[in-house]
Amino acid sequence: MQITAKHIIYFIEEVAARIKDQRDELTLLDAAIGDADHGNNLDRGFSAVLTKLPGMTDHDIGAILKNVGSTLVSTVGGASGPLYGTAFLRAGATAVDRFELAPADVITALEAAMEGIQTRGKAQRGDKTMLDAMGPGIEALQQAHATGDDFVVALRKGVAATEAGMQATIPMLATKGRASYLGERSIGHQDPGATSIFLIAQALLVMAEYIQTTNS
């Protein structure tokens, strides 16, 4: 499977649509353990991204992803702007001057994105953050790809692991970010960042299924 710049734009549009659709749910989750702004902030950021995509259709994948990252940094408030912005910037750095990516390249970009989040947020898995969904998802994707699974099948396994990781944040004690101020009161609530990571993972799968369908 070859992923083109057009497909990456399709993916970003799908992310924006899912964030908008789940904006209130994300904000509700954040109201329990954060500042009650995660959904609204991300929706504002990806809405700004959408206004720039029409001018990016002839750009390489690295440039597109970096544009997404810089837009999120400049328009999204709270911690999610710098974290997601860094993720897209780091992913874009792996795809400079590339107009097509193979599945292995996508995995490399995801790995770079996660490393960027870890560095920027100074968090690790188990801290009740987006990494608790992202880490298991990428690991499952890596393993499935390494054993020869079709990319769509591998992504489905990755999305399932991401969802499980998201749900696993519910009983966790938050030790990073605003939620950590609540101490034991953070237990019993699903992390909003892990939830938005799950939405992005779903969008990536939709993109791959779209490519598979259009190429069959």
Confidence check: pLDDT of 6 > 80: yes
pLDDT digits (tens, 9 = 90+) for 179-188: 665 556 668 8
Higher pLDDT, 33 or 180: 33
Q: What mean pLDDT value characterizes the chain?
A: 92
Q: Are strands 3-4 and 100-101 parallel, antiparallel or unpaired?
A: antiparallel
| pLDDT (average), residues 56-81 | 92
The residue among 185 and 30 whose pLDDT is bigger is 30
DSSP string, the chain: --EEHHHHHHHHHHHHHHHHHTHHHHHHHHHHHS-S-HHHHHHHHHHHHHHHGGGGTTS-HHHHHHHHHHHHHHH--TTHHHHHHHHHHHHHHTTTT-SEE-HHHHHHHHHHHHHHHHHHHT--TTSSSTHHHHHHHHHHHHHHHHTT--HHHHHHHHHHHHHHHHHHTTTPPP-STGGGGGGGGGTTS--HHHHHHHHHHHHHHHHHHHHHHHH-
Integer CA distances (angstroms), 159 to 14, 31, 148, in order: 15, 25, 17
The percentage of residues in the chain with a pLDDT greater than 70, rounded to a whole number, is 94
Residue among 199, 208, 216, 213 at smallest CA distance from 10: 208
Count of CB atoms situated within 10 Å of the CB of 120: 17
The average pLDDT across 110-129 equals 92
Cα-to-chain-centroid distance, residue 74: 17
Domain boundaries, the chain: 3-215
Residues 17-26 have a mean pLDDT of 96
Spelled out in words, what is the top-level CATH class assigned to the domain 3-215?
Answer: mainly alpha
Which is more confidently placed, 33 or 102?
A: 102
pLDDT at 28: 92
pLDDT at 108 over 70: yes
- C-alpha R_g of the chain: 16
Cα→Cα distances 58→8, 42, 99, 138, 144, Å: 12, 26, 9, 29, 32
Give the model confidence (pLDDT) of 131-174 as tens digits: 999 999 999 999 999 999 999 999 999 999 999 999 999 998 77
